[in-house]
Structure formats: structure tokens, C-alpha cells
Amino acid sequence: MVLKIGGDMLALDAAIRRQIETEARKLTDRFPGEPIEAQVNVQEEFDQLHGHRVRCELSAKLGAGRQVVVREARKVASEAISEVFTAARRNVRRLRCQSVLALAPAPKTVVARTGAQIATR
């Protein structure tokens, strides 16, 4: 897995970087056959409604040209990071299910003969 961590001064904090690396490792362990290239941006922002918050954005590129982008803003950086990676795991799982269903062979259609009678009640 290729992992890039960016953002403002929060991205330089060792505890935050360690949490991002741990969450990224969990993501790759959850989907071992999937090549994942992730970029995480952590920034502090001010919202007039919610006050100071930490915004975490994860952009993950998967094999076969698929991409997952997740954004989350919370008061505490650790909460924002864990929520982003939880949502990313859920979205990657959905993408994998959709790609598996797309590769599955189409069901065979059954053609009834004209002389057959179908009983219905």
C-alpha cells in the first residue's frame, strides 16, 4: 500500500501519523488482494455553526480504476480519522461486491415451449 499523509501542522503530529498508519494497515489487511494507494489530508477548519473542527479527507485509489473519497469533520482529530477509515472500509466492501456481481455470468433464460401449459391459481 502506498500512503501519503498531508495537511497542516496536525499532519506532523506523531500520534496522528501513527493512528493514520495503523488505520491504513487495517484497511489493507481487510482487503489483502486489493492494491490500494491512499492519500490522507488532515486540516483544522473553522465552521461558524460548529466552531473549530478537524477535517480528515481520505482518497483511496483501488485496482481497476476505482476510487473512494471520504471526508469527515469532528472536534477531535482521532475521531475524524477513525470515522473516515470506517467509512472507507464500508465503501471498498461495496465496490468489491459490485465488481464481483458485474463479473458473474448472466443467468440463463428459460424458454417455454408453445405446447406447455402453466398452471396458475
Average of per-residue pLDDT across 103-108: 57
Q: How many domains does the chain have?
A: 1
pTM over 0.85? The answer is: no
**In a domain? residue 70:** yes
* C-alpha angle 84-14-16 in degrees, rounded to nearest 5: 15
CATH label of the domain that carries residue 99? 3.30.160.100
Query: In angstroms, rounded to a whole number, what is the distance separating the alpha carbons of residues 112 and 83?
Result: 52
Tens-digit pLDDT profile for residues 55-91: 999 999 987 788 889 999 999 989 999 999 999 999 9
Tens-digit pLDDT profile for residues 3-62: 999 988 777 789 999 999 999 999 999 888 888 899 999 999 888 888 889 999 999 998
**In a domain? residue 110:** no
**In a domain? residue 87:** yes
Domain that holds residue 26: 2-103
**In a domain? residue 121:** no
**In a domain? residue 48:** yes
**In a domain? residue 115:** no
**In a domain? residue 119:** no
Give me the helix-helix angle, 14-30 and 77-103, nearest 10°: 20
Average of per-residue pLDDT across 94-105: 66
pLDDT, position 92: 86
pLDDT, position 103: 56
Higher pLDDT, 72 or 101: 72
**In a domain? residue 40:** yes
